[in-house]
Amino acid sequence: MAQNENLAELSSAGVAVWLDDLSRDRIRSGNLQSLVDEHSVVGVTTNPTIFAAAISGSDSYDDQLHALAVRQVSVEEALRTITAADVRDACDLLRPVAERQPGDGRVSLEVAPGLANDTDATAAEAAHLWWLVDRPNLFIKIPATEAGLPAITETIANGISVNVTLIFSLERYKAVMDAYLAGLEKRVAEGGSLDGIASVASFFVSRVDSEIDKRLDAAGADASLKGKAGVANAQLAYQAYEEVFSSDRWKALEAKGAVAQRPLWASTGVKNPEYSDTMYISELIAPGTVNTMPEKTLMAYADHGTPGTPVQKSYDDAASVMQAVRDAGVDLDDVFRVLEEEGVQKFVDSWDELTESVRTQLEDKA
């Protein structure tokens, strides 16, 4: 089938188009396959919020929930069994993509967000989820908290591919890249193979604008600064990516078969209706990147998306934007701290909601 021209052009520019959503209905109906066939989708990301919506809003899980209830499994086991099943099926659907385009064809499954500040528990659950899904084109999502960084290194060293999530600041992004390289180095030192190991670093965009815009308003700053920081911050992240993955340290790993950790633009659905609904795609076009999009944003770009200024030509302007935001009185360190804490808490809340929903359904079907 013919691919949508706008999304095909985006792919040709080096941006892998991923869908930020998954449900059993989407898989069974053929919708996910059609997005692959017609809209250039080559990967899928999930999170607790996505699964909470999928499971509570569908009867496609009823038979499995009944079987789990009859077996009297715990809520936690039921939750992991259900989500792992969807991710496994999506991995199988995307396997031809993975074989054709190594690094793509990936589906992400997140460790329990309540573990975000526990290094050992995060690494242990990452290993368990990798075993449970048992598909080579899986990504385990680990949050880029301070405790998450050593868990990323350990997980990569164990030969498990990782999607690092909830990255907001350049400082933390650089630490994430270092954690990835350290994991590869540890695996090599222990005699392990780097074959098949991949990673993406999910740099969040629209949430940065939401928080900074609020602070710019409170400071009475020039309104022209609003809606600029999210893209500028991400553009500077790509500059950092280019520096790290052209370094001698990286080249030594690349010579041993390592593949670069790609920047992934996340939180690309526009929160402010006054902004262009495709701005977090159009302004973040660069080779070797991933953009994971809610279906609404994906379809908006398919309909009327046009490329903006290439990221590599935006570094000076991006640095000027971030300096202007600082000069307006916005404490960026505090912005990024708040965003990380809120990001973890939002996923914890969604996980709790999902747990309660599964608990109720198990009781109903017992």
Q: Measured between alpha carbons, how far apart are the two ends of the chain, in Å? A: 44
Amino acid at residue number 284: L
Residue 82 has a CB neighbour count (10 Å cut-off) of 21
Q: Which helix (H) or strand (E) holds 308?
A: none
| Cα separation, 145 vs 222, whole angstroms | 32
Give the HSE-up count for residue 153: Cα atoms under 13 Å, Cβ half-sphere. 16
Phi, psi angle pair for 210, to nearest 5°? -60, -45
Active-site residue identified among 141, 228, 256, 271:
141
Is residue 174 annotated as part of the catalytic site, yes or no? no
Closest of 1, 8, 14 to residue 284, by C-alpha: 14
Give the HSE-up count for residue 219: Cα atoms under 13 Å, Cβ half-sphere. 19
DSSP string of 237-305, one letter each residue = HHHHHHHHTTSHHHHHHHTTT----EEEEE--S-SSTTS-TTHHHHT---TTEEEEE-HHHHHHHHHH-
Q: How far, in Å, are 5, 161, 202, 213 from residue 299 at the CA level?
A: 12, 29, 21, 26
Amino acid at residue number 153: T
| Cα separation, 180 vs 199, whole angstroms | 8
CB 171 within 8 A of CB 233: no
Closest of 66, 109, 62, 111 to residue 89, by C-alpha: 109
Residues carrying an active site annotation: 141
